[in-house]
């Protein structure tokens, strides 16, 4: 049954429930640490209760049913008639998953499907008082397809098919299976517990499948176009802290208006146009030199900047949206790896552009999983090293200037540059002598190379060697950067910088063959004027020595204006040194214009998907400039050896 | 002047829905909303609303505690919103005992099948509670008020010995607390069987019967089809159904529980039970109509009166809603009109005087 996506009440329910679900996620994880906390039990009870109430108002029966049973279980818990066990938590967390799934359906304006009957039966059992010995049926029940293990080997698959076909007994088929390296790890995982494989698979798929760096402007929401506007964002104007008690009593609902995100996008677009006009006026004024005009332009400049910030703020959402789910992720991963991890979060209220929040989600989840899997040691190892058994994972967010800095740091084993050097050579990704020359900092960045994984055993959690390069690509596609710092025995930190917004970007405007191009300022390290004859060709690649370090040099003209190849290249030139992935490259341009606020406009259908182009903008002089996407540009045009490093 | 209402609910979603519903009624003005019990108590002190709607499950301070605080500081008619579960029933009775005037199911579908009808009933309930103001705070009325002498009119008492064979009581809004007060006054050896009809949703009558059973000297149970009447035992009509009695060949009188028919708006209905009692025990019934909205019980009382039985009604002052007792009294069917606190002792007195 389809629901009306424009139903205000449904939308209100979705928005208010989202907060409750996020809170529940966190509360349930806390509950494992403080199973006797009455307040917490009450809070969880109320969470289910409130969602149930709203759901029954809207006659969403499947949701009512599952929440109702969840509520029943917590009612027993809060009255002390049952105690929190890890088995119970497993069931309850599955309930939350089920509720979340239903909300996914509701967001698509579909009537949610009923919860798994087996889950409901388990809940039913738990909601009867006493009977703590009631052992829930094994979590990996064979007939539920959702539960299917992610890493299924061919042999297992065969035997499963056999079992389904009803032919041989599946037990007989199993021993004949050749024990491959992969297969040998599988039973262990299955036994390790309930970290849901499908969830992880989905994540991997998403990371692998959805990387389209050339289209940063495209909304990352995979929803169908007609469904997209239905999604609404609740803006909560920050009430001044010092308001009298009356304010605290005022309901949140009365001071907020729900606005279609499409409308916000439109406004942002128009502000973008305004910024462009402002840029042109500023330019004109500079050439005319009229004082009164200068005054007016200066005023316009200020107002436009304020407006731009104000509009940007309407699109801001607290990073909590992403961070909120980490307690659960950490709990699940730590549990399946038998590690003890305390999650600390800081700056959850830091606000980020809505689109960024959505795009950042997957990379962050991957990094957090990695930190627990690779970074934090097993409790015994930690104890032996004189560290507390509990590892600590810190997730922090703060606004630094016009950027958001996200930090993921652990107090784990840290990284060993030599291990990384050996690995990269072993994998054939780099020559031994090149690797030997890498600084420790550069070594850490090796983990971003495609195909690089330091774990010899492939675990369920990470270590497939596909994650980190995808993470970096994704961060880069947001005009962001990612850095690693590590100290052996003390832990590692990953620093991610992303711009506040995706709509307007500070850019360095340059001219290449009479055309203007915009380079994202975030990736520009420095600008050099240098003698272009003092170059060497190493292994077929043009290199230049800058402060005793080699820098690969590329003529942008060769890539961007290949039609005019035989123009003599100047002896002296402007070189823009840019970060491209973990590498620095020198890009030769004809002329430098300066810094400008580039309002990103999507490319027309003809240019859409052209490698190396992130979009277009209109310059202060009213000309059109293409915005370069340096990582893809380099990857696409540079020689193979650099393509990989990039 | 519109009814000034305060909404207390921890779910923003519900606050907004209720605000919408009340805002659509020109006779009601939402003067404030509160997200938990404590805020509710503070807002009542500040805004002095005419009516409060109150959720039960809330953080910081739950609805029952909030009712208690509000009734202590600034007595205000409070309408509870309850879940129709066993748990919800218990909390609701606690809230009523704490002084809440009335309750409604939180699900509109549970109020009435048709949403507009449900909204109409909801707003009517609010307006009515406001217009009646606060009639009583039953739970805190001291017991010694009973001292008041009731003008006992020895109305058309039949000469027959063993005047009463059964006590039948009907109630609606305000009934749970009123019934509790009446029944707790009856002694363990009360000589008559008792039939109770309280307008209540199906999931509430079971817990309500259990609760009364725990509080009273007499025994109380939710009536099941075939239960035999016995002295000192009260049978509560199950919600959603209808309760009648019939005489068996053996001479025993048993209750029959029937499904409600489409025309029967009250489930259970006082009229249905009273009429059936009038047929089996003509002239030998003591019937009581307690607080409640509407006029259910009047026709049953008429049938009882015609057979020569006695009908008493609760007085206006002690009623949460003076509807059903008013209907009986205004139709000239009430032998006595009594304040709530006197009813229990009066029954005990009357029955002991006329039985045995």
pLDDT at B216: 93
pLDDT per position as a tens digit, A557-582: 888 877 665 556 667 788 999 887 66
Whether residue A241 lies inside any domain: the answer is no
pLDDT per position as a tens digit, A354-380: 778 878 887 888 888 888 888 888 889
Residue B126 near residue B30, CB atoms below 8 Å: no
User: Which segments of A214-257 are extended strands (E)?
Assistant: 232-234
The CATH number of whichever domain residue A580 belongs to comes to 2.40.50.180
Mutate to test the interface with B, among A45, A47, A53 (most CBs of B within 10 A): A53
Last residue of a domain, one of A139, A160, A176: A139
Q: How far from the centroid of its chain's Cα atoms is residue A52's Cα?
A: 31
Closest chain A residue to B34 measured between Cα atoms? A249
Task: Please say if the pLDDT value at position A305 is more than 70.
Answer: yes
The CATH number of whichever domain residue A462 belongs to comes to 3.30.565.10
Mutate to test the interface with B, among A249, A250, A253, A257 (most CBs of B within 10 A): A249
> Based on the domain organization, do A456 and A547 belong to the same domain?
no
pLDDT at B286: 94
Q: Where are the alpha helices (DSSP H) in B99-249?
A: 108-111, 115-132, 175-184, 202-215
> Based on the domain organization, do A563 and A480 belong to the same domain?
no
Distance CA A9, CA A487 (A): 52
Beta carbons within 8 Å of A326's beta carbon, 6+ residues apart: A343, A345, A364, A365, A368, A395
Beta carbons within 8 Å of A291's beta carbon, 6+ residues apart: none
Peptide bond into B71 cis (omega under 30): no
Closest by CA position to B87, among listed A388, A467, A129, A102: A129
Closest chain B residue to A252 measured between Cα atoms? B12
Mutate to test the interface with A, among B11, B40, B110 (most CBs of A within 10 A): B11
Question: HSE on the CB side for A67, CA within 13 Å?
Answer: 29
Average confidence score pLDDT of chain A: 74
Residue A13, chain B, CB below 8 Å: the answer is: yes
**How many domains is chain A partitioned into structurally?**
4
- Of B83, B172, B310, B318, the catalytic one is B172
Last residue of a domain, one of A87, A109, A139: A139
Residue A177 near residue A155, CB atoms below 8 Å: yes
One-character DSSP codes across A32-97: HH-TT-HHHHHHHHHHHHHHHHHHHHTT-HHHHHHHHHHHHHHHHHHTTSS---HHHHHHHHHHHH
Tell me the shortest Cα–Cα distance from A37 to chain B, in angstroms.
14
B15 to A251: CB separation less than 8 angstroms, yes or no? yes
Q: Give the pLDDT band (50/70/90) at residue A333.
A: confident
A249 to B107: CB separation less than 8 angstroms, yes or no? no
pLDDT per position as a tens digit, B263-302: 778 889 999 999 999 999 999 999 999 999 889 999 999 9
> Based on the domain organization, do A304 and A350 belong to the same domain?
no
Whether residue A299 lies inside any domain: the answer is yes
The CATH number of whichever domain residue A105 belongs to comes to 1.20.120.160
Of the listed ranges A261-270, A637-646, B42-51, B341-350, the one predicted with least confidence = A637-646
> Based on the domain organization, do A307 and A330 belong to the same domain?
no
Tell me the shortest Cα–Cα distance from A220 to chain B, in angstroms.
28
> Based on the domain organization, do A468 and A385 belong to the same domain?
yes
Distance CA A415, CA A443 (A): 9
Average confidence score pLDDT of chain B: 86
Whether residue A469 lies inside any domain: the answer is yes
Most confident of A160-164, A204-208, A494-498: A494-498
Residue A12, chain B, CB below 8 Å: the answer is: yes
Of the listed ranges A22-31, A172-181, B340-349, the one predicted with least confidence = A172-181
Task: Please say if the pLDDT value at position A542 is more than 50.
Answer: yes
Last residue of a domain, one of A86, A115, A139: A139
The CATH number of whichever domain residue A273 belongs to comes to 1.10.287
Mean pLDDT over A398-421 rounds to 86
| A-to-B residue pairs, Cβ atoms closer than 8 angstroms | 66
Cβ count within 10 A of residue A414: 17
> Is B74 labeled as catalytic in the residue annotation?
no
- Considering CB atoms only, which of A12, A42, A57 is closest to B108? A57
> Based on the domain organization, do A639 and A511 belong to the same domain?
yes
pLDDT at A217: 43
Task: Please say if the pLDDT value at position A233 is more than 70.
Answer: no
Residue A489, chain B, CB below 8 Å: the answer is: no
Task: Please say if the pLDDT value at position A235 is more than 70.
Answer: no
> Is B172 labeled as catalytic in the residue annotation?
yes
Most confident of A110-124, A506-520, B73-87, B140-154: A506-520
Task: Please say if the pLDDT value at position A155 is more than 90.
Answer: no
Whether residue A164 lies inside any domain: the answer is no
> Based on the domain organization, do A304 and A375 belong to the same domain?
no
> Based on the domain organization, do A487 and A519 belong to the same domain?
no
> Is B296 labeled as catalytic in the residue annotation?
yes
> Based on the domain organization, do A481 and A370 belong to the same domain?
yes
Residue A558 near residue A512, CB atoms below 8 Å: no
Whether residue A253 lies inside any domain: the answer is no
Distance CA A445, CA A439 (A): 10
Set of chain B residues whose Cβ sits within 8 Å of the Cβ of A249: 32-35, 39, 42-43
Strand partners, B166: B285
pLDDT at A326: 84
pLDDT at A288: 81
- Of B62, B227, B296, B335, the catalytic one is B296
Task: Please say if the pLDDT value at position B143 is more than 70.
Answer: no
Whether residue A197 lies inside any domain: the answer is no
Residue A257, chain B, CB below 8 Å: the answer is: no
Closest by CA position to A533, among listed A524, A542, A525, A541: A542
> Based on the domain organization, do A567 and A523 belong to the same domain?
yes
Domains of chain B with bracketed CATH: 3-134 (3.40.50.2300), 145-354 (3.40.50.180)
Q: Residue A444 has which token pair?
A: 């850490």
What domain range includes position A326?
Answer: 317-499
Strand partners, A341: A391
> Based on the domain organization, do A447 and A360 belong to the same domain?
yes
Residue B316, chain A, CB below 8 Å: the answer is: no
Whether residue A113 lies inside any domain: the answer is yes
Of the listed ranges A147-161, A604-618, B4-18, the one predicted with least confidence = A147-161
Closest by CA position to A537, among listed A639, A634, A635: A639
Whether residue A222 lies inside any domain: the answer is no
Distance CA A145, CA A157 (A): 13
> Based on the domain organization, do A456 and A557 belong to the same domain?
no
- Considering CB atoms only, which of B16, B32, B35 is closest to A12? B16
Q: Phi and psi of B238, rounded to 5°?
A: -70, 140
pLDDT per position as a tens digit, B202-247: 888 999 999 999 999 999 999 999 999 999 999 999 998 999 999 9
Could you give the maximum distance between any two Cα atoms of chain A, in Å? Answer: 92
Q: Residue B206 has which token pair?
A: 């079971």
> What percentage of residues in chain B have a pLDDT greater than 90?
57
pLDDT per position as a tens digit, A105-151: 888 888 888 888 888 888 888 877 655 444 444 444 444 444 444 45
- Considering CB atoms only, which of A9, A49, A59 is closest to B17? A9
Question: Within the 409-438 window of chain A, which residues sit less than 8 Å (CB to CB) from chain B?
Answer: none
Closest chain A residue to B59 measured between Cα atoms? A43
Set of chain A residues whose Cβ sits within 8 Å of the Cβ of B11: 16, 50, 53-54
């Amino acid at each position: 049954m389809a629901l009306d996506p424009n139903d205000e009440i449904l939308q209100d329910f979705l928005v208010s429930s989202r907060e409750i679900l996020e809170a529940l996620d966190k509360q349930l994880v806390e509950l494992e640490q403080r199973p006797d906390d009455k307040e917490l039990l009450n809070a969880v009870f109320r969470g289910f209760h409130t969602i149930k109430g709203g759901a029954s108002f809207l006659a969403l029966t499947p949701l009512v049913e599952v929440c109702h049973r969840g509520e029943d279980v917590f009612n027993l818990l809060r009255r002390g008639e049952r105690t929190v066990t890890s088995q119970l938590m497993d069931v309850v967390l599955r309930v939350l998953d089920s509720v979340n799934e239903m909300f996914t359906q509701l967001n698509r304006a579909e009537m949610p499907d009923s919860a798994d009957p087996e889950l409901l039966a388990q809940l039913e059992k738990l909601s009867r008082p006493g009977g703590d010995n009631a052992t829930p049926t094994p979590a990996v029940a064979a007939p539920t397809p959702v539960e299917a293990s992610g890493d299924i080997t061919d042999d297992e698959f065969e035997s499963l098919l056999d079992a389904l076909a009803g032919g041989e007994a599946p037990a007989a088929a199993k021993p004949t299976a050749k024990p491959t390296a992969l297969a040998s790890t599988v039973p262990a995982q299955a036994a390790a517990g309930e970290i849901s494989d499908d969830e992880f698979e989905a994540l991997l798929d998403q990371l692998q499948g959805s990387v389209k760096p050339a289209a940063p402007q495209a909304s990352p929401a995979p929803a169908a176009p007609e469904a997209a506007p239905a999604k609404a964002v609740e803006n909560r104007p920050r009430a001044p802290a010092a308001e009298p008690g009356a304010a605290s009593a005022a309901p949140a609902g009365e001071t907020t208006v729900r606005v279609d995100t499409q409308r916000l996008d439109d406004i942002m677009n128009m502000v973008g146009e305004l910024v462009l006009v402002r840029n042109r006026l500023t330019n004109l004024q500079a050439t005319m030199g009229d004082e009164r005009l200068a005054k007016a332009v200066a005023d316009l400049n200020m107002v436009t900047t304020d407006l731009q910030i104000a509009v940007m703020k309407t699109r801001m959402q607290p990073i909590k949206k992403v961070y909120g789910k980490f307690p659960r992720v950490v709990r699940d991963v730590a549990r399946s790896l038998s590690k003890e991890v305390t999650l600390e979060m800081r700056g959850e209220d830091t606000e980020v552009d809505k689109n960024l929040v959505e795009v950042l989600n997957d990379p962050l989840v991957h990094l957090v999983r990695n930190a627990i899997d690779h970074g934090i040691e097993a409790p015994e190892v930690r104890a032996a090293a004189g560290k507390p058994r509990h590892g600590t994972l810190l997730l922090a967010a703060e606004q630094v200037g016009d950027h958001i800095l996200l930090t993921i740091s652990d107090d784990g084993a840290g990284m060993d540059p030599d291990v990384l050097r050996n690995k990269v050579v072993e994998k054939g990704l780099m020559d031994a002598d090149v690797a030997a020359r890498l600084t420790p900092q550069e070594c850490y960045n090796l983990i971003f190379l495609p195909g690089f994984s330091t774990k010899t055993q492939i675990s369920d959690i990470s270590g497939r060697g596909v994650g980190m390069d995808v993470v970096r690509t994704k961060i880069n596609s947001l005009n962001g950067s990612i850095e690693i710092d590590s100290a052996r025995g003390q832990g590692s930190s990953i620093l991610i910088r992303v711009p506040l917004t995706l709509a307007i970007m500070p850019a360095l405007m340059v001219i290449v063959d009479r055309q203007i191009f915009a380079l994202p300022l975030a990736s520009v390290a420095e600008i050099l004027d240098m003698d272009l004859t003092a170059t060497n060709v190493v292994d077929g690649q043009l290199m230049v020595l800058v402060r005793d370090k080699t820098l690969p040099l590329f003529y942008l003209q060769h890539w961007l204006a290949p039609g005019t190849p035989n123009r003599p290249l100047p002896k002296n030139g402007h070189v823009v040194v840019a970060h491209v992935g973990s590498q620095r490259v020198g890009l030769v341009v004809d002329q430098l214009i300066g810094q400008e606020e580039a309002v990103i406009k999507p490319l027309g259908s003809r240019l859409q998907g052209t490698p190396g182009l992130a979009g277009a903008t209109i310059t202060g002089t009213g000309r059109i400039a293409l915005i370069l996407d340096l990582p893809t540009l380099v990857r696409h045009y540079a020689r193979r050896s650099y393509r990989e490093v990039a | 002047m519109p009814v000034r209402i305060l909404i207390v609910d921890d779910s923003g979603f519900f606050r907004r829905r209720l605000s919408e519903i009340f805002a659509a009624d020109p006779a009601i003005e939402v003067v404030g909303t509160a997200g938990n019990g404590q805020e509710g108590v503070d807002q009542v002190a500040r805004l002095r609303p005419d009516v409060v709607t109150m959720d039960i499950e809330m953080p910081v301070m739950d609805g029952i505690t909030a009712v208690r605080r509000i009734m202590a500081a600034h007595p205000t008619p409070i309408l509870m919103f309850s879940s129709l579960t066993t748990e919800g029933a218990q909390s609701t009775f606690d809230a009523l005992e704490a002084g809440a005037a009335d309750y409604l199911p939180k699900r509109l579908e549970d109020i009435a099948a048709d949403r507009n009808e449900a909204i109409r009933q909801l707003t009517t309930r609010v307006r009515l509670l406001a217009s009646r103001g606060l009639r009583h705070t039953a739970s805190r009325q001291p017991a010694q008020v009973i001292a008041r002498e009731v003008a006992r009119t020895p109305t058309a008492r039949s000469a027959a010995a063993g005047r009463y064979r059964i006590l039948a009581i009907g109630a609606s809004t305000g009934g749970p607390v009123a019934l509790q007060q009446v029944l707790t006054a009856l002694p363990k050896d009360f000589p008559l069987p008792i039939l109770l009809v309280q307008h209540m949703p199906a999931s509430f009558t079971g817990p309500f019967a259990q609760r009364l059973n725990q509080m009273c000297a007499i025994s109380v149970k939710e009536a099941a089809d075939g239960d035999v009447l016995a002295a000192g035992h009260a049978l509560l009509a199950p919600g959603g159904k209808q309760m009648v009695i019939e005489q068996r060949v053996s001479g025993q009188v048993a209750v029959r529980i029937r499904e409600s028919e489409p025309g029967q708006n009250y489930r259970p209905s006082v009229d249905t039970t009273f009429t059936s009692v009038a047929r089996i025990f003509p002239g030998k019934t003591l019937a009581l109509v307690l607080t409640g909205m509407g006029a259910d019980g009047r026709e049953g009382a008429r049938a009882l009166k015609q057979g020569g039985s006695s009908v008493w009604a609760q007085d206006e002052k002690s009623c949460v809603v003076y509807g059903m007792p008013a209907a009986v009294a205004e139709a000239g069917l009430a032998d006595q009109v009594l304040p709530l606190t006197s009813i229990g002792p009066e029954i005990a007195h009357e029955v002991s005087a006329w039985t045995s």
